[in-house]
Amino acid sequence: MNIVIINGPNLNLLGEREPKIYGKETLKSIEKKCKEHAKKNKIKVDFFQSNIEGEIVTKIQKSRDKFDGLIINAAAFTHTSVAILDALNLVKIPKIEVHISNIFHREEFRHKSLISSAVNGLICGLGSQGYILAIDAIKKIIKDNK
């Protein structure tokens, strides 16, 4: 099983600021945890981050023939990007949206995700643990679809 985990803008700086909202972990340590957990489950992970919307769109497009499942934390693009929504709709593999913070407890502009309609499910507000839960969930969806 091969999956891709896509991370959006500013998540490369995780751990440096706003620990009350996002915790103290860096994206590197989240990547390490995800890869360790995935390995135990015989899953290979491509962990990707970009600050550029077009690079994320291209990564999603290319996921079509390369991966069995996709996990995405689109960060701020969650609330703005029709391009990412369209790309997700074009890729017919299981997809899960993750947010470290509870976007519904925060400013009103974060309450709306433009991409949620294109994914199987959404995990938010559980910190970096959300990525691990998403790996477990996507594994089950992929298996059940076979």
Cα-based torsion angle of the residue sequence 28, 32, 37, 38 in order, rounded to the nearest 10 degrees: 90
131 is catalytic: no
Whose CA is closest to 44, among 29, 13, 65, 66?
66
37 is catalytic: no
Least distance from C-beta 2 to ligand CA2, angstroms? 23
* Token pair in block for residue 52: 């550029």
State yes or no: residue 17 binds ligand CA2 (CB under 6 A). yes
State yes or no: residue 33 binds ligand CA2 (CB under 6 A). no
Report which residue's Cβ sits closest to ligand CA2.
101
Query: Binding string to ligand CA2 for residues 62 to 81, with x set by CB under 6 A, is what?
Result: -----------x-xx-x---
State yes or no: residue 131 binds ligand CA2 (CB under 6 A). no
Nearer to ligand CA2, 50 or 68 (CB): 50
Instruction: Work out the angle at residue 96's Cα, subtended by the Cα atoms of residues 92 and 98, and round it to the nearest 5 degrees.
Output: 150
Q: How many binding residues for ligand CA2 (CB under 6 A)? A: 17
Q: How far apart are CA 36 and CA 31, in angstroms?
A: 9
